[in-house]
Amino acid sequence: PAFRELLLQELSQDGCIKAVGQADVIRNQFSGATFERIIDCSGKCVLPGLVDAHTHPVWAGDRVHEFAMKLAGASYMEIHQAGGGIHFTVEHTQNATEEELFNTFKHRLERMRNAGSTLVECKSGYGLNLETELKMLRVIERAKQSMDIGISSTYCGAHSVPKGKTATEATDDIINNHLPKLKELKLSGEIHVNNIDVFCEKGVFDLESTRRILQAGKNIGLQLNFHGDELHPMKSAELGAELGARAVSHLEEVSDEGITAMARAKCAAVLLPTTAYMLRLKQPQARKMLDEGVIVALGSDFNPNAYCFSMPMVMHLACVNMKMSMNEALAAATINAAYVLGKSDTHGSIETGKQGDLVIINSSRWEHLIYQFGGHEALINYVIVKGQVVYE
Ligand code: NIG
Ligand code: FE
């Protein structure tokens, strides 16, 4: 409510916030300065740019037909084991050109940005073979350079076991071939991956394979941030805490010991309300996690199973279905999500010196960003990244 006006200053070109406070105080402080643009925020709210801690946005081959199958009663794993699900998208992504993948990805990023996301985690994982994983990572790298939204990239080659391979063979391939290549490309400056992910699940990668892959990723400097305890209790949370992971995602089936271990290790929980909703899973125990001091973040999990770009919608679902308060949901979709990406020093809150990433909504009550569900176009007036208006 302190913001009656927002001053977007161009005193230096670094895109960082120069001052926070009452408009008249700030005006005095910068009285001699010329401003490129002044936005009158009377009657509006200024919030930190939203951070989406978990997305799978690069792929070809949507699965609208599987949505119908799921509505008719098929489970996620039944479809996966019958060769659909991730396998379906992998086949289409392997066959797509880099240009096709970039164009659809760009459009998806724009939709995320227009819904208020200013920093997004983006995974590979629909390639599985090295060639296609690299194609996806190149597409993400290109968007990092060219798009007006922040990206943290994640190598997720262990998203599924490729057809014709065992999980052990796939694990060996990742450790012996994929990760050394990523290290080489980082050194040459071609592709800079930030995080590593594994789908730790019964019938996909077991705890031991997950441990081997994550440890090898850690050895080449990647932050650990992986899928765990979603459909079956796997002790993924315990593993995440043990290995010093930044975060574990999903956690519908986490154990009590896993929650305690995550709190102690400051390993964040990335909760994904769209997926729990879409697949009618048991809801993760957000309340218990929060009460025990786990750092809880949110992600859209945008993917061909959970087709949702919108963090306001995600916050709404987190409040209604996971019993989070609106304050908790906003923290989970900003500063805590930035923590997951190792960026809470520079992103996720409105503080002097942090990157100028903001969302301005057309309501004097910030809670409208969560209270309203669907149709946020009329509510979000401006999205600002590094002090520049990128959507209005
Ligand atoms: O987070 N669980 C694994 N990965 C994704 C789904 C990917 C897909 O179905 O294409 C998730 O839900
Ligand atoms: Fe996911």
Residues 110-168 pLDDT 10s: 999 999 999 999 999 999 999 999 999 999 999 999 999 999 999 999 999 999 999 99
Q: How far is the CA of 303 from the centre of ligand 1 (A)?
A: 7
Q: Determine the atom of ligand 1 nearest the C-alpha atom of 201.
A: 2
> Phi and psi for 245 in degrees, rounded to 5?
-65, 145
First to last CA, the chain: 21
DSSP structure class, residue 189: T
Distance 159 CA to ligand 2 centre (A): 9
What is the overall mean pLDDT for the chain?
95
Query: What tokens were used for 6?
Result: 């927002």
CA angle, 370 then 373 then 379, to 5°:
75
Would you say residue 10 has pLDDT above 60?
no
Give the number of the atom of ligand 1 that is nearest the alpha carbon of residue 76: 9
For ligand 1, residues with CB inside 6 Å are 56, 85-86, 89, 199, 227, 230, 275, 301, 303-305
For residue 12, name the pLDDT band (cuts at 50, 70, 90): low
Given a cut of 60, is residue 7 above it in pLDDT?
no
Residue 145: which residues within 8 A CB-CB, separation 6 or more?
A: none
Contact 59, 93 (CB under 8 A): yes
> Coil, strand or helix: which one is 158?
strand
**Torsion angle, alpha carbons of 322, 325, 326, 329, to 10:** -50
Q: ipTM of this model? A: 0.97
Is pTM beyond 0.90 here? yes
Q: What are phi and psi of 221, to 5 degrees?
A: 90, 15
Query: Which amino acid does the sequence have at 373?
Result: F
- Backbone φ, ψ for residue 111 (5° rounding): -65, -35
DSSP 282: P
Closest CA to 386 of 149, 50, 53: 149
The answer on pLDDT for 303 being more than 70 is yes
Give per-residue pLDDT as tens, 170-193.
999 999 999 999 999 999 999 999
- Which ligand minimizes its atom distance to the CA of 88? 1
Amino acid 291: pLDDT: 98
Structure tokens at 376: 């946020």
Least confident segment among 34-38, 156-160, 170-174, 318-322: 34-38
Q: Is the pLDDT of residue 11 over 60?
A: no
Cα separation, 113 vs 107, in Å, equals: 10
What is the per-residue pLDDT for 2?
42
